[in-house]
Structure 1
């Protein structure tokens, strides 16, 4: 007998089939309803939970100094927002109501620019609108500040519970502040939160530094947002520059100190240091005198004068003229020329030497004309040999390489402009006059940027081989290094014969040892170079526009017997006194002495004067650093651990009879409630004291603290930032 009972099973089966059919019809009807009547609603929902073709920004590459120190780096910055709809969906409205007052108070402590009431009004406005992306703070914040915000109530929950979320953005930071600012370059913000390079290497090497964007999309899965990467971004390359941080800092300080001198009061200061054999730019300084909002004088970089200023170079151009005459075989260094009493008529104009009021130089040879920088001597020699064929002279100038395009990788750089004489069909000069050649020979009638002048002097130091100035020597991506080797300027492997180069080297050395460039020299090593003092033409008004303006220059190299570095210093100023050797030469001296001291690696103990009894002042700060410095200077120390120092700017340097030693006072238990007085301290000690009390520091400038934004003795609020201005 069969166990299958057809009469019982079939009715049950029929009922199940009918139920399945009804459910299927319901699903189809519901699907059709959603696809038609509710289509617009669900499309809006879909737009909120997905995004296609999302651009994923790569990390911008770093800019490094020649020894690997960071000159520019990408760091994360954040913009913070609240999703009040998510807060409501998570059922945490009551928690927000209970904690809102604490949240606003905490935000005020982190961002003291706004009061708790202002924060509350802003957040209540966003909550009323049920905004999904309401800004908590309108500006970018760094990671440390973002971490502080995350500690606040509600914000410390997950973003699905609190609705608090952020946008992470790349920020460009310069760890050395304004050091080589116009050469390294900077970035400016776009409306969409991105950044674009403005100038310098950031702009010139943007393609390498920027990398390649990635592509992704966003989906909401199981109530969570997932960012799905379709194409990985390719991070930018790091570039290694030729800039030496130590030499750059040394050169900047030397230029600024000279511009500040009352007798100088310079408007613009430029200094470039180049490595002779490679053409590597070790330092490039462009300082402008500016005026702050309160009329105070500020020195900072605004324009890259070193590569873009097309100005008449003055007497630093004279070696080009002399070398041209020697190379063409027109004469030798023993050529005799009469300069008279310092004033010589030339085609209706008067040529003057700098000492014309003292009777001039009289008769001298060519080597002496360069040593004493005689305008009459050099111009008369050049005019004698090239008056009928000035084109030959200008071809010789071009042969020297000073007018070559050096392909400087800085936007705004320009090669020198030295006009070539031209004749018409009748043999008459079209763009030339009788006075053009004499004045061109002494550095007028031409426009030459400082870096082109330096390249010429560097070539003399390099035995006639002109090197192309190099700013970047390598790029690195994923551990792979691409080298950019030193290059010789095309067609200038030898700007003159070895014999002529040797004569030029001897004459330039005598300019410093015996002539007008003595202040650029050193007692420790030989220096060679040439001074220059030129009047600056002020556009359409020419040279006579009220106060006379001057370009003071010194270009040369050191050590003269084995050149390692070449350097040019240019200062623009108004009025007298004006001396290329006495002002720019002094800056050259300080730079050369500092570089040689660094390269020789002298020990700090060699700087001690055994006959001196001076005991340095020691300010409160990092006790270990102070102890080390004093010990290296041979001064004995003992440490006193004193708690709760009231006046942190007091001096503890104390000289005692007999053996000299210093009491070092250490803050064992510093007061954490009041802002310390850090005026006059260095950056390291000032930051050390501030951060001991929980105050964040922002540094502007270099040197000693001359201003602090939080007054001494002020009660410290949590998360406060103090801006320290150093000079």
Structure 2
């Protein structure tokens, strides 16, 4: 009996000891959590009771060369609900569905959903947001937000680009300069009780947003609008598929205008234009939208045709392979290996100098210059002029030149490249290279961005761009200006003449692939004043109907643009007559 009592006492003692250890451990853990982890769990508790709403930062404006705002913001509202704070769910559903034009079932699903916050609708007009706020519905939040707005609708749509629902840039300058434009979002912090109901009269913490910087660009609204008008006129007149125009300062690369007609509405970028077609599926619609948003000036390549003779001529002069008074003969074709390559003039130009060959846009003359240079030398200048790389323009998605590999380039390929066929470049690449050839030999980087400025003016970022100097000699550049002035004065570019101004340029009519379709791109590149170029412009007319020669339909458009924008830019006319076409220069 005594041994049993002793045995039970031992068990009780062990049990008490184990309980003591457990209590000691729990007390130790409690002390550890209360003293050493108090901040951590205090923060967790705070997070549990805090409600956070984002205050969107105002996106920076985009401002043109004259200080005109061409991309800005409109105040809109985001309507949302917090389930635990709603006391009259039926009333909330009825008001929101009626005011926002939504289905009651759609609104009710969000109102009855257990979540910290459900967004009912974004981009609500501010007046409507204020009206919803006036109902004082518990659990309904009306937060002011910003929506991108473009005052000129379609102006420079493929250049400016647009933003998505999150107000982030999608294409164009909007995405290229995102880091400067986007700003820094703020926050509103409110307290709620254990049930998630917002505590009345509780302190509200705000972290104010920081607005994005304003972007100043070289694009001039007045020049852009005039070029767009000219593009639409020739597109309608010639039944063309598309018309692109670039106007640039060849001395520093600042782009004054870039048109891709038809443009689209930046305030409604997800609605297809009438020209885009009718989609059969969502995927097809997205493909059509992507096509509508493309910027052919930088995204698409084409065979430049005779405008590229500028490059062949400059390379030949720079290498000493040809001089202005060198004599050539054009019977209407040139035989290279087993190929008979024709001139645009079937009967030929007969005997002519190199200068006259350029004025006549004679293929055989340029083929001969290319053959004199040879593949190695021609390829060297092709790379030296910067044609193998990209221009570095401050727009996304620039395409590269599509050119034969040097080892695959025979005499026939050399002949066709010499007058602008069998390879492809972008219009931007062509005008950039031509600028270097006429500006004294400096390859500039084409660009729109000039500077970004904070809203209070305290921070200014001035953008700089690379310049590759000496891609050809000033003497060759001067000779090329003279040649191209003669092309306009008495050659194939006569329709580009502007009364009182010295204009240089080159026409082109290139046949699209496949050749069997007989579709063409008509183009003209021109600059003024010819002796000291301040403006260079390129127009490409895609698939014009009827007469399609660049000298006939493209050159007059540039002449009309120059007639209007040269005085606007303060470039004074000169009384000096154009020098004779037969002067031997350089």
- TM-score interval for Structure 1 and Structure 2 normalised by the shorter chain: 0.7 to 0.9
Deviation of 1:76 (Å): 2.6
For the Cα contact (< 8 Å) 1:83–1:163, is it kept in 2? Answer: yes
Deviation of 1:371 (Å): 0.7
Deviation of 1:228 (Å): 1.9
For the Cα contact (< 8 Å) 2:343–2:363, is it kept in 1? Answer: yes
CA distance in 2, matches of 1:123, 1:447: 54
Q: What is the 5 A alignment of 1:550-589?
A: 550-573=520-543, 576-589=546-559
Deviation of 1:128 (Å): 8.4
| Partner-residue secondary structure (3-state), 1:589 | helix
CA distance in 2, matches of 1:247, 1:301: 23
- 1:561-608 CA distance string (max 9 Å, x none): 442211111111166532112222122122212212433599xxxxxx
For the Cα contact (< 8 Å) 1:402–1:455, is it kept in 2? Answer: no
For the Cα contact (< 8 Å) 2:250–2:432, is it kept in 1? Answer: no
- 1:134-165 CA distance string (max 9 Å, x none): 87x74531223334x24xxxx52545xx5543
Deviation of 1:306 (Å): 0.8
Asked whether 1:146 is paired with 2:129, we answer yes
CA distance in 2, matches of 1:601, 1:370: 27
Partner of 2:342: 352
CA distance in 2, matches of 1:239, 1:314: 37
CA distance in 2, matches of 1:212, 1:447: 42
Larger RCO: Structure 1 or Structure 2 (Cα < 8 Å, ≥ 6 residues apart)?
A: 2
CA distance in 1, matches of 2:118, 2:305: 62
TM-score for both structures, normalised by structure 2: 0.77
Asked whether 1:372 is paired with 2:360, we answer yes
| Partner-residue secondary structure (3-state), 2:536 | strand
| Partner-residue secondary structure (3-state), 2:258 | strand
For the Cα contact (< 8 Å) 1:391–1:420, is it kept in 2? Answer: no
Deviation of 1:253 (Å): 1.3
Partner of 2:222: 246
For the Cα contact (< 8 Å) 1:468–1:486, is it kept in 2? Answer: no
CA distance in 2, matches of 1:131, 1:311: 54
Partner of 1:480: 458
Match of 1:590 among 560, 569, 572: 560
Q: Identify, as 1 or 2, the structure richer in helix.
A: 2
Deviation of 1:74 (Å): 3.0
Q: CA RMSD in A?
A: 3.6
For the Cα contact (< 8 Å) 1:247–1:282, is it kept in 2? Answer: yes
Deviation of 1:254 (Å): 0.9
Partner of 1:470: 447
CA distance in 1, matches of 2:464, 2:553: 32
| Partner-residue secondary structure (3-state), 2:543 | strand
Q: What is the 5 A alignment of 1:33-112?
A: 49-51=49-51, 56-81=55-80, 88=87
- 1:360-396 CA distance string (max 9 Å, x none): 211101011111111112112321x13xx41112212
CA distance in 2, matches of 1:87, 1:601: 67
Partner of 1:632: none
- 1:429-449 CA distance string (max 9 Å, x none): x41222011111001233211
Q: What is the 5 A alignment of 1:184-263?
A: 184-189=160-165, 194-214=166-186, 217-220=189-192, 222-224=199-201, 226-229=203-206, 233-261=209-237
CA distance in 2, matches of 1:130, 1:258: 59
For the Cα contact (< 8 Å) 2:334–2:341, is it kept in 1? Answer: yes
Partner of 2:314: 323
For the Cα contact (< 8 Å) 1:287–1:301, is it kept in 2? Answer: no
| Partner-residue secondary structure (3-state), 1:556 | strand
TM-score for both structures, normalised by structure 1: 0.63
For the Cα contact (< 8 Å) 1:511–1:529, is it kept in 2? Answer: yes
CA distance in 2, matches of 1:336, 1:265: 41
Q: What is the 5 A alignment of 1:466-615?
A: 466-477=443-454, 478-484=456-462, 487-490=465-468, 493-537=469-513, 542-544=514-516, 547-573=517-543, 576-600=546-570
Q: What is the 5 A alignment of 1:20-35?
A: none
CA distance in 2, matches of 1:307, 1:123: 45
CA distance in 2, matches of 1:475, 1:131: 40
Asked whether 1:279 is paired with 2:246, we answer no
Q: What is the 5 A alignment of 1:259-408?
A: 259-261=235-237, 264-288=238-262, 290-291=275-276, 293=278, 302-340=293-331, 342-356=332-346, 359-383=347-371, 385-386=372-373, 389-408=374-393
| Partner-residue secondary structure (3-state), 1:66 | coil
Cα distance 1:227–1:75, how it changes in 2: closer, same or farther (>3 A)? farther
Cα distance 1:488–1:163, how it changes in 2: closer, same or farther (>3 A)? closer
CA distance in 2, matches of 1:177, 1:406: 28
Cα distance 1:373–1:481, how it changes in 2: closer, same or farther (>3 A)? farther
| Partner-residue secondary structure (3-state), 2:311 | helix
For the Cα contact (< 8 Å) 2:511–2:521, is it kept in 1? Answer: yes
CA distance in 1, matches of 2:68, 2:381: 42
Mean alpha-carbon deviation: is it higher for 162-171 or for 392-401? 162-171
- 1:219-257 CA distance string (max 9 Å, x none): 24752465424x654432221111111111111111111
Cα distance 1:252–1:55, how it changes in 2: closer, same or farther (>3 A)? same
| Partner-residue secondary structure (3-state), 1:480 | coil
| Partner-residue secondary structure (3-state), 1:145 | helix
Deviation of 1:185 (Å): 1.3
Cα distance 1:51–1:178, how it changes in 2: closer, same or farther (>3 A)? same
Cα distance 1:531–1:226, how it changes in 2: closer, same or farther (>3 A)? farther
| Partner-residue secondary structure (3-state), 1:165 | strand
For the Cα contact (< 8 Å) 2:389–2:400, is it kept in 1? Answer: yes
CA distance in 1, matches of 2:112, 2:171: 44
CA distance in 2, matches of 1:498, 1:45: 74
Cα distance 1:85–1:484, how it changes in 2: closer, same or farther (>3 A)? closer
CA distance in 1, matches of 2:84, 2:276: 50
Asked whether 1:413 is paired with 2:403, we answer no
* Aligned pairs, number: 506
